[in-house]
Structure 1
């Protein structure tokens, strides 16, 4: 079992190029199945969730090639409408393939999706989307069957701005003839990117970036070439590491337009930054100032994906911080490990109070999900001594090579077996 090792307490001075976005490419790969042709993607991250998606695409009958961050999907022929548990349990985003299969084949059967164990994450929102477009949902003991004689344009209001449900609704609406209205949508940058991709394929979408989308779909969509945006969470992780220990770093190919919430937050804590097109210079000269209260919320609010990562940085902040998690109820599983490193954190339900201290101490800890692993890496950068993070596989789901990136930023990190 691989481990991430970090020798911390060294200010960061260096630069790194930010990889393609995990949360963008996964829905794009599903949407690629809407066309009976070839889609080519560039700047694709070489991470485990992408390889899991490729396994699903191959199983369904698509032809896939992936090399040097370039991925080609030929979905001319699909031979299966079911996704076995073997593939579904690998990641949560596998549920996104249900929408494109429903459009292409009129039915889809799948088990409940897997991924990180960070809460209940019900699939109900997705099934309500399928029903709104004229599908019948049958809940079996071991699987979910969704079928339709004909998908029809609709007006749907989401009960919650779920990113995944929004993406499934967009994929269905874009792949059928007619106009659909989707209300209460998620406005995360990855949703915007899916809209742009679907428009490249031939659909037309009004009010992109707003809470109500009007989608003019087509039965026949075109294959396209598309460059994936950079990963804002990866960028935020490295900024958090710099916040934790200080230094001056440069992020190349950074998704700066999507990073305003985290940049403004860090600036309020004492950081300085300058942005030039897609290059970000970031400086932290002192201990970060504590945050009196921070609450996760759908975009443009504070991202739940960044919550645990920022908490790890706040463990060394000057003062007392409070964080409340409102999206996923189990996003704080890393707190016992931060305490093991010396952090003073009190948790009550989905809220944590962090009393910042001068110094964390490296030790052996374990990642419990993707973002908790990133949080422990940030803590390790700011800790004195060696931090060894078990279950590196979680980190490889979303980071191409976090050890290599930390080294490029001036840190000391490596992967050990």
Structure 2
């Protein structure tokens, strides 16, 4: 039976919302605890399906994991497993992060090829090439990555493209390698910096944080540590765009504005007012005629691909023509057809979408193909007339903690139930149907 979110139209979202810890930071931090025996603590951890999935992977490997409130305690003192199975890894692409630490500490790892969102090919070639550069023997068979090594050997490795996932795995592998490893064209996302801080707190010697060249002096052992996950810049960006699309005034709190510079600049260019404090950002789009602008995604600090679908929803609501180009994942446009079902006018050519603004959207049955596509459909649904029914919203449970509660603080009433609601009234209320 379908689960449904009923979302009555919000004329203008107003209020404050507290931003949770970043899942894209927490998952590497969790994998890093496999590098030593001990009890590690990660604070500011959101309650999300992806976090639960990684916890199950760690438990399968022998760790004890306890998640209370926003703190995660991971005990790896009896963690000796080296096989991460398909039935867990297929749920989430980030499960591949266990490859590096298992290989580094145990000398072997067997990890199923990862799953995750359903758009576009995202190969693991860089992960494998990086392990091979560190002298590991790697083979693919029966849908698994099998890697073996004595002690890994430090080496120079250049990423052919900037890759957050591969940078994470190479960092996790090289900290226990013999000698010096230099990573060139490494990702510089804030989540990478968060991981570097954790690893150095554990006793690693990593230099060059915040730059595309990371130098790792291998050590023989690490110790458990306590670390705080950074705020979720993608969640924060989603709520800021929600404020813009409803012409409201929204403040996101417990954030790091420096992590959202590209989005802030783009929102300012549309005509919204943005005010940044030390740990908060306020967007004021009340009674303002916003202008469409074009954006192009790119590696940090450029516009984040994880905010591309949400930005497209905003473009749909603005009078005029804009373009959205995704240079990171050219196939990340499955949400386009669903936005068009709501009345959007979008044409895609290659990795560029051309949007002709259509402020008057109308409700229709649509489907969330992935996490951020689901967020985009919520934003479009906030301004669509009648009811919008969005299926496969289980994707949203992977990346947005307490979505109903947080939208409620801004004035949008979202209810989750098991039965679709019919109405004869033209209420702009998106129904988000979750297939469990």
Normalised to the residue count of structure 1, the TM-score between the two structures is 0.97
1:376 to partner: Cα distance: 0.4
Separation in 2, partners of 1:200, 1:3? 44
Alignment of 1:383-398 (within 5 A): 383-398=384-399
1:287 to partner: Cα distance: 4.1
Output one character per residue of 1:218-238: Cα deviation in whole Å (capped at 9) or x when no partner.
Answer: 221121111111100000001
Separation in 2, partners of 1:22, 1:390? 23
Aligned to 1:303: 304
Aligned to 2:353: 352
Aligned to 2:200: 199
1:179 to partner: Cα distance: 2.1
1:260 to partner: Cα distance: 1.0
1:327 to partner: Cα distance: 1.5
Separation in 1, partners of 2:407, 2:289? 20
Alignment of 1:262-277 (within 5 A): 262-277=263-278
SS in 2 for 1:315: helix
For the Cα contact (< 8 Å) 1:7–1:385, is it kept in 2? no
Aligned to 2:426: none
1:201 to partner: Cα distance: 1.1
Aligned residue pairs total: 416
Output one character per residue of 1:96-115: Cα deviation in whole Å (capped at 9) or x when no partner.
Answer: 01111101110111221000
Aligned to 1:28: 29
Is 2:173 the counterpart of 1:172? yes
For the Cα contact (< 8 Å) 2:23–2:46, is it kept in 1? yes
Separation in 2, partners of 1:135, 1:68? 39
RMSD: 1.3
Aligned to 2:330: 329
1:177 to partner: Cα distance: 4.3
Equivalent residue in structure 1 for 2:290, among 272, 288, 291: 288
Output one character per residue of 1:166-219: Cα deviation in whole Å (capped at 9) or x when no partner.
Answer: 011111122334321100101111111111111111112222111111112322
Is 2:274 the counterpart of 1:278? no
Alignment of 1:6-405 (within 5 A): 6-285=7-286, 286-291=288-293, 293-405=294-406
1:136 to partner: Cα distance: 0.5
1:416 to partner: Cα distance: 2.2
For the Cα contact (< 8 Å) 2:25–2:194, is it kept in 1? yes
Output one character per residue of 1:67-125: Cα deviation in whole Å (capped at 9) or x when no partner.
Answer: 11110011112232111100110000000011111011101112210000121000111
SS in 2 for 1:299: coil
Normalised to the residue count of structure 2, the TM-score between the two structures is 0.93
SS in 2 for 1:7: coil
SS in 2 for 1:268: helix
Separation in 2, partners of 1:230, 1:95? 23
SS in 1 for 2:154: coil
Unaligned runs of 5+ in 1: none
For the Cα contact (< 8 Å) 1:136–1:146, is it kept in 2? yes
